[in-house]
Amino acid sequence: MTRTPSSLPAGDINPAPLPEPPLTKEDAARSRDRARVHRARGGSRHWQLLWLLAGPGILAMLGENDGPSMIAYASDGAQYGLGFFVPLILVLFAMAFVCQEMCMRVGAVTHRGYGGLVLQRYGRIWGWFGAGDLIVTNLVTLIAEFVSIRVGLAYFGLGSGAAVALGLTLVVFTLSGKRYWRWERVVLGLALFNGLFLVAAILVKPHPGAVAASLDFVPFPGGSFNTLLLLLASTVGATVTPWMIFFQMSASADKGMTARDLRHGRYDTAAGAVLAAIFGIGALIAGAALLTHGGSGIQGFAGAGFPEALKHVAGGAAGTVFALGLIEAGAVAILTICASTAYAAGECAGVSHSFNNSPRSAAVFYAANLGVALLAAVVILIPGAPLLSIVLNANVLATVLLPVTLVFMVMLANDAGLMGQWANKPATNAVGITVIVFVGLCGAAYGIDSFLQVIHLVGP
Amino acid sequence: MNDAHQDPGIGERNPQPPERGEDGPLVHLARGQFVAETSRPVARAALSARAVAGLWALRVFVVVVSLMVIYTFIDQLR
């Protein structure tokens, strides 16, 4: 293999040749992926280019359409109907697109992940704080994902052991390829089954007029102030979370994306946001079928309540599809969340962190990927563990911890020293700061109000 | 808020990765993508005292609210 001098210092018209960096197995694997991108771009094969560069954006968005999120959407539909939530979900995914586009851009331009960049650019303490936030929220969320698989499998008469076996088998299988490309394509294939929630929505036969009318924004349909805050916090937490930030930035770098791929990276992120919004609204519509039945199923959630309740209201097919959807949502989220944990661990420890490396060369990366899944699996096997409470609070905790992650992400995207001409424009900053303020207010308002109620300083 | 104070940042060092055609068995990576390059730490940014104070205030606020959420969660279990 020969090499080309691949980049020039800015403004240098006739530079001296740069010394060639040593080529590792990781470089060689990434180079093979990039060669296909170059061929597609050189041959103006636009669809092939789109296919080759798709991945991190769709995975981040559909990964976040996870078990707790789909349960949250279905609960919203079952308790309040469509009116308030369809526009809210659309707005939240537009918000998610802005955040994730920044992640993709920083990852593609710097070729580095979030954890490593924060740690090196702003200091170890901020890097480790960020990694700590990620590990806490990821562990709680992973427990919720295993619960989601368990709930789906319970519909088919299977228990916690089967859920743990399925989740861990998928993690080991996807890690066995030692290539980013293979990992990404396997998880993308699984993620497309998130569309089962759209199928479930069709199977409950919603009134088309009611769905269309739900696009008109209506006020929150009722309930206490705290209920509204909980719904807002958990719905925001169902749309943007710390692991998505870590994941998309690191995956974009691991995939080998560069500044020339930014347009396709935006297509990928936008496609993910649109698909996730459609499938999320699918879960909302499916849940809304329970509205006339007093929101039945929510209380029975821990015992596979939603699929069973749907079966009674809309038929066995709807229940089965919803249960399969929960299994898929949990499984894909386990894979992407474990990957984000592994990237963060490798970056913060300053060791190899790529799917393109072997377990021997990237021991910390592979150990963190599998280890966090094992830890979550152990928790759901503990008899009497408060799984339902964990599921309901997973998104809220993610929302509360998100503002710090978002602030550093906006700082990185504005860092002209890192980003050069691809740094944020003022309009992107305005939207980004609005998102941070909104997320911060939602999480803080719920956290403070709930706490004051618990210590009886305010009434329910 | 975050001016680089050492060597130029990644964006300046690698303004445009090359896109070479199939004119030989090439390594299709921009220089900044090599493991040898990404293993080198980026320069530390110089944050102003106000920025550091703001970050610490946000961090303390988030930790306090997180503790409130965890307390509420534990209370709900009882």
**SS3 state at B3:** strand
Distance between CA atoms of residues A100 and A104, nearest Å: 6
What is the nearest CA distance from A436 to chain B, expressed in angstroms? Answer: 11
Burial string for A32-48 (b: 16+ CB within 10 Å, else e) reads: ebbbebbbbbeeeeeee
* pLDDT in the model for residue A204: 92
* pLDDT in the model for residue B23: 42
Q: Which residue has the tokens 């586009």?
A: A101
Interface A–B counts its CB contacts (< 8 A) at: 206
* pLDDT in the model for residue A12: 36
What is the nearest CA distance from B76 to chain A, expressed in angstroms? Answer: 8
Q: Which residues of chain A have pLDDT under 50?
A: 1-15, 295-303
Would you say the ipTM is above 0.90?
no
Instruction: Choose from A451, A455, A456 for mutation: most chain B CBs within 10 A.
Output: A451
Chain A CB contacts of B3 under 8 Å are 417
Task: Provide the sign of the torsion angle of the four alpha carbons A7, A8, A11, A14, taken in this order.
Answer: negative
What is the nearest CA distance from A18 to chain B, expressed in angstroms? Answer: 9
Distance between CA atoms of residues A400 and A447, nearest Å: 8
Distance between CA atoms of residues A114 and A93, nearest Å: 21
Residues A22-64: pLDDT tens digits?
788 999 999 999 999 999 998 888 999 999 999 999 999 999 9
Residues A86-134: pLDDT tens digits?
888 999 999 999 999 999 999 999 999 999 999 999 999 999 999 999 9
Instruction: State whether B29 and A256 contact (CB < 8 Å).
Output: yes
Distance between CA atoms of residues A278 and A222, nearest Å: 25
Mean pLDDT of chain B: 74
Q: Which residue has the tokens 């307390």?
A: B71
Instruction: Choose from A30, A111, A257, A422 for mutation: most chain B CBs within 10 A.
Output: A111
Find the closest chain B residue to A444 by CA distance.
B65
Say yes or no: B40 contacts chain A, CB-CB below 8 A: no
Distance between CA atoms of residues A180 and A55, nearest Å: 11
Instruction: Choose from B10, B19, B58, B78 for mutation: most chain A CBs within 10 A.
Output: B10
All residues at 6 or more sequence positions from A234 whose CB lies less than 8 Å from its CB, including other chains: A68, A72, A392, A395, A396, A399
* pLDDT in the model for residue B27: 76
Distance between CA atoms of residues A205 and A141, nearest Å: 32
Identity of the residue in B9, B65, B75 whose CB atom sits nearest the CB atom of A444: B65
Share of chain B above pLDDT 90, in %: 33
* pLDDT in the model for residue A322: 95
Instruction: Choose from A2, A3, A6 for mutation: most chain B CBs within 10 A.
Output: A6
Instruction: State whether A121 and B45 contact (CB < 8 Å).
Output: yes
* pLDDT in the model for residue B73: 84
Identity of the residue in A7, A122, A397 whose CB atom sits nearest the CB atom of B45: A122
In one-letter notation, the amino acid at residue A416 is A
Say yes or no: A423 contacts chain B, CB-CB below 8 A: yes
A residues 338..367 contacting B (CB < 8 A): 350, 352
Chain B CB contacts of A401 under 8 Å are 62, 66
Say yes or no: B48 contacts chain A, CB-CB below 8 A: no
Going by C-alpha positions, the residue among B59, B50, B56 that lies closest to residue A402 is: B59
Distance between CA atoms of residues A41 and A44, nearest Å: 5
Say yes or no: B63 contacts chain A, CB-CB below 8 A: no
Residues A108-120: pLDDT tens digits?
999 999 999 999 9
Chain A CB contacts of B21 under 8 Å are 38, 42
This prediction's pTM: 0.88
What is the nearest CA distance from B22 to chain A, expressed in angstroms? Answer: 7
Distance between CA atoms of residues A6 and A1, nearest Å: 14
* pLDDT in the model for residue A385: 77
Structure tokens, A175: 């890690």
Chain B CB contacts of A447 under 8 Å are 65-66, 68-69, 72
* pLDDT in the model for residue A384: 79
Going by C-alpha positions, the residue among A193, A199, A194 that lies closest to residue A315 is: A199
